[in-house]
């Protein structure tokens, strides 16, 4: 009887170990699923090779330099845009809403502006439209965009929590749609 009890106890312990090991709390970017983008993401393509986030600097609203590589540990949705870009302007309210909806999921949304006038014009645009979820970020002379081979605006690049590029969307998307949020959470598999 004790032999049977030890077998059952061992099997139960093993089963619990398997369940814990595959739970979302222990998921890693290597198990992320970016294979089924929803129609709300428009022109999405998964990265053929998970390249690292670049060290090329961009600046915040104070002029302080930052880099995408410095965000390792958090998943990133990095949108390249400008205040003079019609499709960019159209999707900006949805990006601001997305930033607010995913911040507690370990996903940071950055909108890197290529406006030559810099932070003041972006801050004015954000203030005028009531955007509070996005930090002012400037990609002076499109250096980060060029490093990532961005050829048109808007383009949005996804990085997992390990700092690897996992995909991108060329063109506008429905960023605050529930299907988009569900996909980003599964694709980027941020640390819990």
Q: Is 134 helix (H, G, I), strand (E, B) or coil?
A: coil
pLDDT in tens, 8-47: 444 444 433 433 333 333 333 345 689 899 999 999 999 9
Is the distance from CB of 183 to CB of 41 less than 8 angstroms? yes
Token digits of residue 22: 């595959």
CA dihedral 133, 97, 136, 127 (to 10 degrees): -80
The partner residues of 164 in beta bridges, in order of sequence, read: 52
Count Cβ atoms within 10 A of the Cβ of residue 150 and give its class: 0-12 exposed, 13-18 middle, 19 or more buried.
buried
Token digits of residue 150: 């961005």
Token digits of residue 125: 């645009």
Calculate the average pLDDT of the chain.
86
Rounded to whole angstroms, the Cα distance separating 191 from 26 reads: 8
**164: pLDDT strictly greater than 50:** yes
The structure's pTM equals 0.82
Please give the pLDDT value at position 1: 53
Residue 160 makes CB contacts below 8 A (sequence gap 6+) with 29, 32, 50, 75, 166, 187, 188, 189, 190
Of 189 and 54, the structure prediction assigns the larger pLDDT to 54
Please give the pLDDT value at position 50: 86
**98: pLDDT strictly greater than 80:** yes
Stretch among 11-25, 59-73, 158-172, 173-187 having the lowest mean pLDDT: 11-25
Return left, alpha or beta for 113; rule: phi > 0 is left, psi -120 to 50 is alpha, else beta: beta
Please give the pLDDT value at position 33: 84
pLDDT in tens, 47-90: 998 899 999 999 999 999 999 999 999 999 999 999 999 999 99
pLDDT in tens, 100-149: 999 999 999 999 999 999 999 999 999 999 999 999 999 989 999 999 99
Q: How many degrees, rounded to 5, is the angle at CA 10 between CA 9 and CA 11? A: 90
DSSP β-ladder status, 44-46 and 136-138? unpaired
Please give the pLDDT value at position 8: 42
Please give the pLDDT value at position 2: 53
């Amino acid at each position: 009887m004790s032999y049977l009890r030890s077998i059952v106890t061992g099997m139960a312990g093993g089963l619990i170990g398997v369940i814990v090991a595959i739970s979302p709390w222990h998921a890693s970017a290597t198990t992320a699923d970016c294979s089924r983008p929803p129609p709300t993401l428009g022109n999405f393509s998964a990265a053929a090779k998970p390249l690292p986030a670049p060290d090329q600097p961009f600046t915040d609203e104070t002029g302080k330099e930052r880099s995408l590589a410095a965000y390792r540990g958090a998943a990133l949705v990095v949108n390249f845009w400008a205040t003079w870009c019609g499709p960019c302007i159209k999707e900006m309210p949805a990006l601001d809403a997305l930033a607010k909806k995913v911040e507690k999921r370990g996903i940071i949304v950055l909108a890197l502006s290529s406006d030559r006038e810099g932070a003041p014009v972006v801050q004015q645009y954000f203030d005028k439209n009531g955007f509070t979820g996005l930090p002012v970020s400037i990609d002076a002379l499109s250096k980060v965009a060029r490093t990532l081979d961005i050829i048109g605006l808007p383009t949005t690049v996804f990085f997992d929590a390990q700092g690897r590029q996992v995909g991108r969307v060329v063109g506008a998307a429905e960023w605050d749609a529930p299907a988009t949020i569900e996909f980003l959470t599964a694709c980027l598999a941020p640390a819990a």
